[in-house]
Homo-oligomer: A and B are copies of this chain.
Amino acid sequence: MARVVVEVMPKPEILDPQGKAISSGLRRLGFDGFTDVRQGKRFELTVDGEATDEVLADVRDAAEKLLSNPVIENVVAVRVEDAGVDAAGAEAGAR
């Protein structure tokens, strides 16, 4: 089993109210050094067997079709994170 990570962020030109809220929250907590905060999504997809090029092509396709909204979001990364996820790890997640 392998684990593929997909990262999705709002397009830069899209206003990110959540990011703005986090920015002011950080300032309230005393973290002043951050000029901008943007929040996106991170997915971990566990696949049977190895993360072959074909699997990665499927993941990219799924990322465009389901994991992101191409009108307002960009898929910024698709990468193999762990080639050998032990069954227990995936099992715990499935329960």
Contacts and interface: CB of A to CB of B under 8 A. Distances in A.
Number of copies: 2
A95 B64 CA distance: 26
Most interface-central of A9, A36, A40 (chain B CB within 10 A): A36
23 contacts: A1-B35, A8-B42, A12-B92, A13-B92, A13-B95, A19-B93, A22-B67, A29-B62, A29-B66, A31-B62, A33-B55, A33-B58, A34-B47, A35-B46, A36-B90, A37-B43, A37-B44, A37-B45, A38-B43, A38-B44, A38-B93, A39-B42, A42-B42
Interface of A: 1, 7-9, 12-13, 15-16, 19, 22, 25-26, 29, 31, 33-49, 55, 58, 61-62, 65-67, 89-90, 92-95
